[in-house]
Amino acid sequence: MTELIPQPRGVVAGPGEVRLTAHSQLYAGTATEGVGRWLRTVLQQATGLPLREGRQPDDTDGDGIRLRLDPGLGREEYRLVSDGSGVRVEGGGAAGVFWGAQTLRQLLGADAYRRAPVGRDRTWAVPHLTIEDAPRFRWRGLMLDVARHFLPKDGVLRYLDLMAAHKLNVFHFHLTDDQGWRIEIKKYPRLTEVGSWRARTKFGHRASPLWEEKPHGGHYTQDDIREIVAYAAERHITVVPEIDVPGHSQAAIAAYPELGNTDVIDTNSLSVWDNWGISANVLAPTDNTLRFYEGVFEEVLDLFPADAAEFSAFVHAGGDECRKDQWQRSPAAQARISELGLADEDELQAWFVGHFDRWLTARGRRLIGWDEILEGGLADGAAVSSWRGYAGGAAAARAGHDVVMCPEQQVYLDHRQDAGADEPVPIGYVRTLEDVYRFECVPAELTPDEARHVLGTQANVWTEVMEDQARVDYQTFPRLAAFAEVAWSRLPAPAQRDFAGFERRMAAHYRRLDALGVAYRPPAGPRPWQRRPGVLGRPIDGPPPNR
């Protein structure tokens, strides 16, 4: 039962075990009450045991569970001890206790992940051991794109639970793009009335001749968003929203045509985009556009409040893949370039992103964006999501900016998992489970001082070719388990990592994923219903560049 993922820093096993029984109690000390409620709920569901609330630590002697803080530990660090006095989980903060509770759940076996007991005579036991553990990186993220294919609220909550089970703590919520606007903004109701639905959807890569000829869409109400944020917080996960500017904005322009470059095209004729790729329809660099998006961000800040959580001040503003064709032809855009004394359209994009950098900073928040925002300079507090390989992250760190490493060639989980013909809608490079396990997120060329700007790492799930939850599961798992270990555990250099040992531990972890109902890719390849024969992808041959 000690096949743990992510791998803990240290495990010392002893003889014997603690058996949970109908008499076992769970005591949650000061500031761990929320963890206690969560743990009691999931274990009661799975085991059928009452796990009554202990009023004093001594109530749990022998066969119970005690949760408490230990100020000598780091905020996310924990210690789990199972011995003759019962099970004790201690953390430097509530987050550390929560991660220890996740480890305890793994120790109880795969059936501890079920929502109801599956056997009357089951023994629930924790082996005697001591585990001491702490994360390598502070930012351990998953980016989920719900703009290309909408994932209903229950699916988002489910992914928060899956993140928590793997000790991931930042949920990057990609809410807007050319193909859909997913968050209710009360000041601008057409963003969801119009912008959240498209008439049809390309099936497969944009080279595919196939279409799904039915409307696709949906959005989250503001109360849905508040629920998602609160649900995440209970699991010690911070939600970082993304509102894309100035590119990837066709859905917003379809809803409010005045946001587009009206002196170049008839923006009234635009609809939410039904294809993939990079739309030429980008925001006009006007004062009206700036004021409009300030109104959007005002409501976003209210829905995603900055609190005591380490990364809650961050707001992601996109900033990537902004095509300049319309700006080059737009008299208004060219006049703005001249008025501001800018050199070209690239500096115009930097000015646009810089406006919201300053706007967010003035409100105590921090802008984070894709690595294109480096072009033209950044304010001191802005951070970078490095997706175009390692170079952007290295440049940002050298310039003193915080960085989240998420290079496309390594941890974009929409990329195919095998070169075989049965792989569904093959996109990009082959990134196997082992490839992800050997990912190292800190650029080798950084000095120790520069490397301190690497907040951590993030796996990205872009959903152009993932039409439903089962497809998202297939692309995300089991690779997210490998990524979680890379983000949490202090592993050796990539070539020295014990992948065979990881595979042995995964044998137990697959049973946990089965209990959770995750439609992962089996090690032997896709099941028949996971394939998509005849649907074109965009495979890239050869190894990905490691730079």
Q: Is the pLDDT of residue 372 over 90?
A: yes
Q: At 58, is the pLDDT very low, low, confident or very high (cuts 50, 70, 90)?
A: confident
Helix (H, G, I), strand (E, B) or coil at 298: helix
Q: What pLDDT, on a 0 to 100 scale, did the predictor assign at position 375?
A: 86
Q: At 156, is the pLDDT very low, low, confident or very high (cuts 50, 70, 90)?
A: very high
Q: What pLDDT, on a 0 to 100 scale, did the predictor assign at position 1?
A: 55
Report the run of H or E that residue 533 belongs to, with start and end. none
Q: What is the total residue count of the chain?
A: 547
Question: How far apart, in whole angstroms, are the C-alpha atoms of residue 538 and residue 547?
Answer: 21
Angle at 320 (CA atoms; ends 347, 297), nearest 5 degrees? 90
Cα torsion angle, 235, 238, 241, 242, sign: negative
Task: Give the number of other CB atoms < 10 A from CB of residue 52.
Answer: 15
Question: Taking residues 206-227, what's their average pLDDT?
Answer: 97
Instruction: Characterize 377-401 residue by residue with b for buried, 16 or more Cβ atoms within 10 angstroms of its Cβ, and e for exposed.
Output: ebeebbbbbbbbbbbbbbbbbbeeb
Q: Name all domains of the chain by residue range, CATH numbers in brackets.
A: 10-133 (3.30.379.10), 139-539 (3.20.20.80)
Question: How far apart, in whole angstroms, are the C-alpha atoms of residue 296 and residue 301?
Answer: 9
Segment 497-505 long-range contacts (CB within 8 Å, at least 24 positions apart): 497/437, 497/438, 499/434, 499/437, 499/438, 502/5, 502/7, 502/437, 503/433, 504/3, 505/3, 505/4, 505/5, 505/7
Q: Is the pLDDT of residue 408 over 60?
A: yes
Report the run of H or E that residue 307 belongs to, with start and end. none
Instruction: To the nearest 10°, report the CA torsion of 288, 294, 296, 302.
Output: -160
Question: How far apart, in whole angstroms, are the C-alpha atoms of residue 154 and residue 177?
Answer: 21
pTM as predicted: 0.98
Tokens describing residue 460: 């990205």
Question: Taking residues 156-175, what's their average pLDDT?
Answer: 98
Q: What pLDDT, on a 0 to 100 scale, did the predictor assign at position 332?
A: 98
Question: How far apart, in whole angstroms, are the C-alpha atoms of residue 399 and residue 408?
Answer: 22
Helix (H, G, I), strand (E, B) or coil at 456: strand
Outline where 128-263 has alpha helix (H). 153-165, 190-193, 222-234, 250-255
Q: How far is CA 223 from the centre of its chain?
A: 21
What's the mean pLDDT when you consider all of the chain? Answer: 96
Question: Taking residues 201-208, what's their average pLDDT?
Answer: 96
Q: What pLDDT, on a 0 to 100 scale, did the predictor assign at position 522?
A: 98
Question: How far apart, in whole angstroms, are the C-alpha atoms of residue 334 and residue 344?
Answer: 9
Q: What pLDDT, on a 0 to 100 scale, did the predictor assign at position 413?
A: 98
CB contact set of 94 (below 8 Å; sequence gap of 6+): 31, 32, 34, 35, 69, 236
Q: Is the pLDDT of residue 119 over 90?
A: no
Q: What pLDDT, on a 0 to 100 scale, did the predictor assign at position 277?
A: 95
Residue whose pair of structure tokens reads 């998509």 in the numeric block? 532
Q: What pLDDT, on a 0 to 100 scale, did the predictor assign at position 359?
A: 97
Question: How far apart, in whole angstroms, are the C-alpha atoms of residue 514 and residue 518?
Answer: 6
Tokens describing residue 173: 């919520």
Cis amide leading into 478 (omega within 30): yes
Tokens describing residue 331: 């008299």
Question: How far apart, in whole angstroms, are the C-alpha atoms of residue 290 and residue 331?
Answer: 18
In 3D space, the residue among 16, 19, 12, 1 whose CA is nearest the CA of residue 128 turns out to be 16
Angle at which helix 331-340 crosses helix 345-361, to 10 degrees, equals 70
Q: Is the pLDDT of residue 72 over 60?
A: yes
Helix (H, G, I), strand (E, B) or coil at 254: helix
Q: Is 452 left (phi over 0), alpha (psi -120 to 50) or beta?
A: alpha
pLDDT in tens, 253-271: 999 999 999 999 999 999 9
CB contact set of 486 (below 8 Å; sequence gap of 6+): 436, 437, 439, 440, 441, 457
pLDDT in tens, 484-524: 999 999 999 999 999 999 999 999 999 999 999 999 999 99
Question: Taking residues 526-539, what's their average pLDDT?
Answer: 97
Strands 78-83 and 383-386: unpaired
Q: At 150, is the pLDDT very low, low, confident or very high (cuts 50, 70, 90)?
A: very high
Q: Are 362 and 297 in contact (CB under 8 A)?
A: no
Strands 10-20 and 538-539: unpaired
Q: Is the pLDDT of residue 546 over 90?
A: no
Q: Active-site residue numbers?
A: 321
Question: Taking residues 137-156, what's their average pLDDT?
Answer: 98
Q: Is the pLDDT of residue 542 over 60?
A: yes
Question: Taking residues 408-428, what's their average pLDDT?
Answer: 97
Q: Is the pLDDT of residue 179 over 90?
A: yes
Question: Taking residues 112-141, what's their average pLDDT?
Answer: 95
Question: How far apart, in whole angstroms, are the C-alpha atoms of residue 381 and residue 313?
Answer: 11
